[in-house]
């Protein structure tokens, strides 16, 4: 299977690499362009949410939105801001923790759970069907191999780019590209394809169903910088550039983290992981964020993990 994927995906793979090389060249030229006009500091994410920002999330699995759910709790139910959740697979490699079992199969049940969660957050949803590596974690293929499997199933980057051009978000949030909050390679790929899509969406040379090019003004990595993970060496490597207060009031007297914790109950099949999130919500005082420049901080989806 791997030889077939590599053979049939070669042309598309080379095209993506050419786009990445072009992005790197543009970033180099920008750095050599001489003195820049000094600009005011951009608004923080909290300020953007309060101003009514259109927000887009790109994750790998149903339930991934919970990791930054405090932000979406304020943006969607709290403020009524437009939200779009773009989820790359149905989570069919995950667990089924339902006493009655998952019928007809895990992916169908998790898809319905994701639809329920999106409705709670008042978010539109795009739910893709890309490959999801089955548990246990120790059996996961390498990140670059999963990337090539996804490429063979239909390059995710232009699909996400079309969604960006259609939705026109003020803010796009995804995972850290090197660790991905939990170490999951598909979280890392969601980030890498998302930032590639940000560049593609802004490129006037790329035609996409007559959709006008759109440059996302604000792109963020949501980071796991919680102290237990930092102490254990299992946190995301990026330093955070700002935080979002998860303890602020969001909805009906509930804090944003309380709303997030309540909404995790939509993912019943993932009762083990989501139960842990609910028990540990006291730890989520802030959501940690890194504002990334996708044009200069480029991460290749096909780069082998170090």
DSSP labels, 42-55: PPPHHHHHHTT--E
Q: Is the pLDDT of residue 9 over 50?
A: no
Beta carbons of 192 and 300 less than 8 angstroms apart = yes
Q: What is the pLDDT of residues 134-183, one digit of tens each?
A: 999 999 999 999 999 999 999 999 999 999 999 999 999 999 999 999 99
Helix, strand, or coil here: 212?
coil
Q: What integer pLDDT is reported at residue 32 of this predicted model?
A: 38
Q: What integer pLDDT is reported at residue 40 of this predicted model?
A: 64
Q: What integer pLDDT is reported at residue 267 of this predicted model?
A: 98
Distance CA 284, CA 225 (A): 10
Q: Is the pLDDT of residue 13 over 90?
A: no
Beta carbons of 166 and 211 less than 8 angstroms apart = yes
Q: What is the pLDDT of residues 69-86, one digit of tens each?
A: 999 999 999 999 999 999
Q: What integer pLDDT is reported at residue 305 of this predicted model?
A: 87
What mean pLDDT, rounded, does the chain reach? 89
**What are the C-alpha distances in Å from 148 to residues 95, 127, 191?**
24, 19, 15
CATH architecture of 2-23+43-292: 3-Layer(aba) Sandwich (3.40)
Partners of residue 104 on adjacent β-strands: none
What percent of the chain stands above pLDDT 90?
Answer: 85
Q: How large is the C-alpha radius of gyration of the chain?
A: 19
Q: Are strands 249-251 and 171-175 parallel, antiparallel or unpaired?
A: unpaired
Q: Is the pLDDT of residue 26 over 50?
A: no
Mean pLDDT of 177-199: 97
When pLDDT is cut at 50, 70 and 90, the band that residue 15 belongs to is: very low
Q: Is the pLDDT of residue 4 over 80?
A: no
Q: What is the pLDDT of residues 31-63, one digit of tens each?
A: 333 444 444 678 999 999 999 999 999 999 999
Q: Are strands 83-87 and 55-59 parallel, antiparallel or unpaired?
A: parallel
Q: Are strands 254-255 and 218-223 parallel, antiparallel or unpaired?
A: unpaired
The Cβ of residue 183 has, within 10 Å, a number of other Cβ atoms equal to 14
Distance CA 123, CA 115 (A): 9
**What are the C-alpha distances in Å from 67 to residues 182, 192, 226, 276?**
10, 18, 12, 12
Beta carbons of 84 and 122 less than 8 angstroms apart = no
Q: What is the pLDDT of residues 102-123, one digit of tens each?
A: 999 999 999 999 999 999 999 9
Domain ranges of the chain: 2-23+43-292
When pLDDT is cut at 50, 70 and 90, the band that residue 225 belongs to is: very high
When pLDDT is cut at 50, 70 and 90, the band that residue 254 belongs to is: very high
């Amino acid at each position: 299977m791997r030889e077939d994927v590599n053979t049939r995906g070669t042309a598309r793979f080379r095209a993506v690499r050419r786009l990445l090389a072009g992005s790197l060249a543009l970033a180099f030229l920008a750095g050599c362009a001489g003195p820049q006009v000094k600009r005011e500091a951009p608004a923080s994410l909290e300020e953007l949410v309060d101003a009514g920002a259109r927000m887009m999330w790109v994750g790998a699995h149903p339930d991934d939105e919970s990791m930054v759910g405090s932000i979406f709790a304020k943006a969607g139910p709290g403020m009524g801001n437009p939200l779009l959740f773009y989820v790359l697979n149905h989570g069919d490699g995950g667990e089924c923790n339902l006493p009655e079992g998952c019928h007809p199969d895990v992916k169908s049940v998790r898809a319905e759970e994701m639809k329920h969660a999106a409705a709670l957050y008042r978010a539109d949803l795009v739910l893709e069907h890309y490959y999801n590596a089955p548990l246990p974690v120790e059996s996961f293929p390498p990140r670059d191999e999963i990337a090539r499997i996804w490429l063979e199933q239909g390059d995710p980057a232009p699909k996400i780019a079309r969604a960006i051009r259609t939705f026109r978000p003020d803010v796009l949030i995804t995972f850290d590209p090197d660790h991905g909050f939990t170490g999951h390679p598909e979280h890392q790929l969601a980030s890498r394809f998302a930032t590639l899509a940000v560049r593609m969406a802004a490129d006037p040379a790329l035609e996409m169903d007559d959709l006008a090019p759109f440059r996302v003004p604000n792109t963020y990595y949501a980071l796991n910088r919680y102290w237990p993970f930092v102490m254990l060496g299992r946190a995301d490597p990026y330093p955070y550039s700002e935080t979002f207060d998860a303890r602020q009031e969001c909805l009906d007297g509930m804090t944003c983290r309380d709303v997030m914790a309540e909404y995790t109950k939509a993912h019943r099949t993932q009762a083990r992981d989501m139960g842990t999130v609910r028990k540990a919500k006291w730890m989520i005082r802030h959501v940690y964020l890194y504002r990334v420049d996708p044009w200069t901080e480029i991460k290749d989806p096909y780069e082998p993990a170090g």
